[in-house]
Amino acid sequence: MKMDSYVKVIEKQKLGCEGIIVLQHGEKIAEHRFIPEAPRNSFSVSKSFVSIAIGMAIDRGKISLNSRVADFFPECCRNKPGKRLSDLTLEHLLTMTRGHRAFSRPASVAEALSQPLTYQPGSHFVYDNGSTFLASAMFTKAMGLNVREFLLDALFRPLGIPDPQWPESQDGHTVGATDLVLATSSLASFGQFLLQRGQWKGRQLVSPAWIDNAGRPQINTRSRRPDCGIGYGFCFWPCRYGAYRADGKKGQFVVVLPRQDAVVAINSNEEKPYPILYAVWDEILPLL
């Protein structure tokens, strides 16, 4: 597949796309590098890896979507009575509906749980890093090791992804919401794993049902942006055309297209990234 039209759109708009890989039917059908490939911060694509780790923990019976945050961190919740905190579950964290009012970047569980819950959990979508960080911390409590440590053998190495950088919080949990460092080729492998509904080289690494539900709308997002207003899954964004994606703020995209049996992986360094995604719909999707 030739991507000349896609490259022209990116260059004409002077978008900071660094590289793109297109897979279809399990094979690489196109690739273009604007700069040499190198691992980079994948920003909020990191959240989708936390989702997969959580799915694996659920498969192992270590945690559930109904697990209550207060049960995992009683020392942080003991002096903060209230029905909202008591009702807060892992599902609310994964769907960005914990009841917070604004985006946050807490440095610890204690800081995250000190933030007031303005809304009843489950009632309002407010995207932020704190929810995914708390989900990552719940994973640590449930599994006895943090998300990065677990995924090294459970996901990264099976997929052939070199052991990535992913920092810990001051209280020992994988940051989770951001800062996972990956190359475009690693994003493509992750996308193929998602497309195969958690199966990799004959092994089912996470249940197909988790992949299916993670990529489906679980909450109304009410956004005017075309690919952000369809809803939010479990740390994934449902898109147009029956697709869903992992999404980083500077144009990191892992777009999974089940209808076309295809994956589009992109790394960028762009402050206004969505035209990079729109060009996928306009210039690449018609070729699949």
The three-state DSSP-derived secondary structure of 179-224 is CCEECHHHHHHHHHHHHCCCEECCEECCCHHHHHHHCCCCECCCCC
Contact (Cβ atoms closer than 8 angstroms) between residue 213 and residue 231: no
Measured in degrees and rounded to the nearest 5, phi and psi for residue 115 equal: -75, 135
Alpha carbon distance 220, 63 (integer Å): 25
Q: Which pLDDT tens digit goes with each residue over 197-231?
A: 999 999 999 999 999 999 999 999 988 889 999 99
Average pLDDT over residues 71-97: 87
Question: Residue 33's beta-bridge partner residues?
Answer: 19
Q: CA-based diameter of the chain, in Å?
A: 60
Q: Which of 193, 269, 270, 244 is nearest to 23 (CA)?
A: 193
CATH architecture of 1-38+184-200+244-288: 2-Layer Sandwich (3.30)
Q: Is the pLDDT of residue 78 over 90?
A: no
Q: Of the ranges 13-22, 111-120, 271-280, which one carries the lowest mean pLDDT score?
A: 111-120
* Per-residue pLDDT at 47: 98
Q: Which of 161, 135, 170, 166 is nearest to 148 (CA)?
A: 166
Those residues whose C-beta lies under 8 Å from the C-beta of residue 25, and which sit 6 or more positions away, are 261, 262
Q: Is the pLDDT of residue 269 over 80?
A: yes
CATH architecture of 42-182: 3-Layer(aba) Sandwich (3.40)
Q: Is the pLDDT of residue 244 over 90?
A: yes
pTM above 0.85, yes or no: yes
Percent of the chain whose pLDDT exceeds 70: 99
Q: Which pLDDT tens digit goes with each residue over 136-179?
A: 999 999 999 999 999 999 999 999 999 999 999 999 999 999 99
Domain spans of the chain, in order of start: 1-38+184-200+244-288, 42-182
